[in-house]
Amino acid sequence: MTKIVKQKETAGFIIPTNVVNEAAVQKVQQYLPELAEKTAAFGSSNSQSTLTMMSLTMLNGHSPYRMLRQILAEAEKRKGALAEAQVNYAKTLKRIEDLKDSDDPIEQARYRQNVVNLATMEQKVNGSFGDLATLIEAYNNIKEKNGIEDWDEESFEKEEKKHHVRRAFELMYRNLLDGGKMSTATIEYCQQFGIHPQICMAETSGYVNYTSKRITEGEILHSNDLEEFLDEMAEKYYKNADKTAERLFGKADFTVSDYMYKTVTK
């Protein structure tokens, strides 16, 4: 004899009333709408702060052109996700339309499943648009802060040596704080961009000692102090990279403008 299972709809789900925990159901019914509402605020995988302060500076430091390039990469990922989402969204809408009038209990369950899926997709699409808007805001702020009217691959390449020299000093600083000595990778990085590793260590050790003294004396430092030191080192030593390029390739400027994408001047 087939056992009859009584059912009822709760919070958008059909549940068997004779086996489910009624107290739990009531709690879900009371608070699930609020959870669903708040979930809509987090359709993005990252907060605006994380996306702007971390994703754009990871491995890029504070290089404006590097951050601009990272924004392009982050935006491209979200454009691709949106393109795929619109196909899945259309398919889900079609399934909902096909299933909505069915009397079959399995198809009714599939209908409710697709309704839930549709809401989740809408949250993620909204989150992707929010991320894109955040990235565009950061893009415009970086350009304004650094006086960049327009830029292209050629502009980016002109700043690359300075970025890498700055990065070498940054890695040296991390090495000295982490283990008190420079790593083999940092030594190689310095040499690749014309910085004598012992000069890099001496400059950075001097900054570390000077900073320790100031902290001991009660000065409360901001991390901008470190960034300014790194900027100074980049300005002081970036031309060393030219000498290394001359040694390797016979000329300081070895990049070929003709191979680059350049903004078309009207």
Same domain? For 101 and 35 the reply is yes
27 falls in which pLDDT band (50, 70, 90)? confident
* pLDDT at site 128: 84
Whether residue 175 sits in one domain with residue 123: no
Same-domain check for residues 113 and 185: no
In a domain, 78, yes or no: yes
| Shared domain check, 102 and 133 | yes
Q: Is the Cβ–Cβ distance between 244 and 165 less than 8 Å?
A: no
Q: What share of the chain has pLDDT > 90, as a percent?
A: 45
The arithmetic mean of pLDDT across residues 36-48, rounded, is 69
Nearest-angstrom CA–CA distance, 239 and 124: 46
Answer whether residue 17 is part of any domain: no
Look over the chain and give the mean of its residue pLDDT values, rounded to a whole number: 85
Question: Is position 9 within any domain?
Answer: no
123 and 164 both lie in a single domain: no
pLDDT band at 60 (very low <50, low <70, confident <90, very high): confident
**pTM for the whole structure:** 0.75
Segment 195-231, tens digit of pLDDT: 999 999 999 999 999 999 999 999 999 999 999 999 9
**Same-domain status, 220 and 245:** yes
Mean pLDDT of 35-56: 73
pLDDT digits 0-9 by tens, 79-93 = 888 888 889 889 999
Confidence of residue 13 (pLDDT cuts 50, 70, 90): low
Dist CA 222 CA 225 (whole Å): 6
71 with 175, same domain: the answer is no
Mean pLDDT throughout 7-25? 61
Residues 106 and 188 in one domain: no
**Residue 87 in domain:** yes
Number of other residues whose CB lies within 10 A of the CB of residue 261: 9
What whole-number percentage of the chain has pLDDT above 70? 84
- Identify the pLDDT of residue 158: 84
pLDDT tens digit sequence for 130-145: 888 999 999 999 999 9
What pLDDT, on a 0 to 100 scale, did the predictor assign at position 4?
46
Domain assignment present for residue 46? The answer is yes
Number of domains in the chain: 2
Indicate the pLDDT class of residue 43, thresholds 50, 70 and 90: low
**Which carries the bigger pLDDT value, residue 248 or residue 46?**
248
Residues 107 and 177 occupy one common structural domain: no
Let me know: does 54 contact 76? Beta carbons within 8 Å.
no
**What pLDDT is attached to residue 242?**
92
Provide the domain limits for residue 219.
160-253
pLDDT at 18 over 70: no
**DSSP letter string, the chain:** -PPP--EEEETTEEEETTTS-HHHHHHHHHHHHHHHHHHGGG-SSS-HHHIIIIITTTTTTT-HHHHHHHHHHHHHHHHHHHHHHHHHHHHHHHHHHHHTT---HHHHHHHHHHHHHHHHHHHHHHHHHHHHHHHHHHHHHHHHHTT-S---HHHHHHHHHHHHHHHHHHHHHHHHHHHSS--HHHHHHHHHTT--HHHHHHHHHHHHHHHHHHHHTT----THHHHHHHHHHHHHHTTHHHHHHHHHHSSS----GGGS--PPP-
Distance CA 234, CA 230 (A): 6
Q: In terms of domains, do 28 and 140 share one?
A: yes
pLDDT tens-digit profile of 91-130?
A: 999 999 999 889 898 998 899 899 888 888 888 888 888 8
Q: Is pLDDT larger for residue 29 or for residue 146?
A: 146
The predicted structure's pLDDT at residue 3: 47
pLDDT in tens, 131-186: 889 999 999 999 999 999 888 888 888 888 999 999 999 999 999 999 999 999 99
Residue 147's pLDDT is 93
